[in-house]
């Protein structure tokens, strides 16, 4: 094991994950999920977030259909979709996605179709952005492990 390479990768990982928290992509719930990962379940976090992103994709499609016709928006269905998205984003620590959902819900409550459309667009953007960021993070993890190192614990609290 090349300890220099491992140390560099670990440093990179640490800096990257800290930046994700600092930029508000992630909150403390993500670090709660990381606590649940260990040698017995080394892919727990990446699997859960993968399910979350699948959820995002499905819900966004459904909500997009609800918003299609200006005269016939199903705000109830929309509200239910936003609620689900808000819940699951909260459970994985996807802070920006969750925050958009809060605004989204407000638009639903007052039946503001235009506002909802903007929020939908934003939530789509945010989840895809997070997906890319986390993929980079997980790739770093893999590189560390392949180089024979261990993934650093990062305490953000």
Which residues contact other proteins by CB under 8 A?
29, 32-33, 35-36, 38-44, 47-48, 50-52, 54-55, 58-59, 62, 76-77, 79-84, 86-88, 90-93
Least distance from other proteins to the Cβ atom of residue 15, Å:
25
DSSP at 153: P
When the beta carbons of 15 and 54 are compared against other proteins, the nearer one is 54
Give min distance, CB of 131 to other proteins, in A: 14
CB of 12 to other proteins, least distance (A): 25
Q: Which is nearer to other proteins, 9 or 45 (CB)?
A: 45
Indicate the residue among 5 and 145 with the shorter CB distance to other proteins: 145
Question: Minimum distance between the CB of residue 52 and other proteins, rounded to whole angstroms?
Answer: 5
Give min distance, CB of 120 to other proteins, in A: 15
The alpha carbon of 122 is separated from its chain's Cα centroid by a whole number of angstroms, namely 13
Percent helix / strand / coil, the chain, rounded to 5: 75, 0, 25
Closer residue to other proteins (CB): 5 or 115: 115
SS3 94: strand
* CB-based burial label for 132 (10 Å; 0-12, 13-18, 19+): exposed
Pick the closer one to other proteins by CB: 15 or 42: 42
The C-alpha atoms of residue 74 and residue 28 are separated, in whole angstroms, by 34
Using CA atoms, how far apart are residues 119 and 73, in angstroms rounded to an integer?
15
The Cα–Cα gap between 24 and 3 comes to 32
């Amino acid at each position: 094991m090349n300890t220099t390479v491992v140390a560099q990768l670990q440093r990179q990982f640490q800096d990257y994950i800290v930046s994700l928290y600092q930029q508000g992509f992630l909150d403390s719930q993500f670090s709660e999920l990381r606590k649940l990962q260990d040698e017995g379940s080394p892919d727990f976090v990446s699997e859960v977030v993968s399910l979350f992103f699948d959820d995002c994709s499905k819900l966004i499609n459904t909500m997009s259909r609800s918003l299609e016709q200006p005269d016939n928006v199903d705000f109830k269905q929309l509200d239910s979709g936003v609620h689900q998205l808000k819940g699951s984003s909260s459970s994985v620590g996807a802070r920006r996605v969750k925050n958009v959902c809060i605004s989204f819900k407000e638009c639903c409550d007052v039946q503001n179709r235009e506002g909802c459309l903007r929020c939908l667009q934003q939530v789509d953007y945010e989840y895809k952005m997070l997906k890319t960021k986390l993929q980079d993070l997980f790739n770093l993890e893999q590189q560390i492990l392949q180089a024979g190192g261990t993934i650093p614990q990062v305490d953000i609290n």
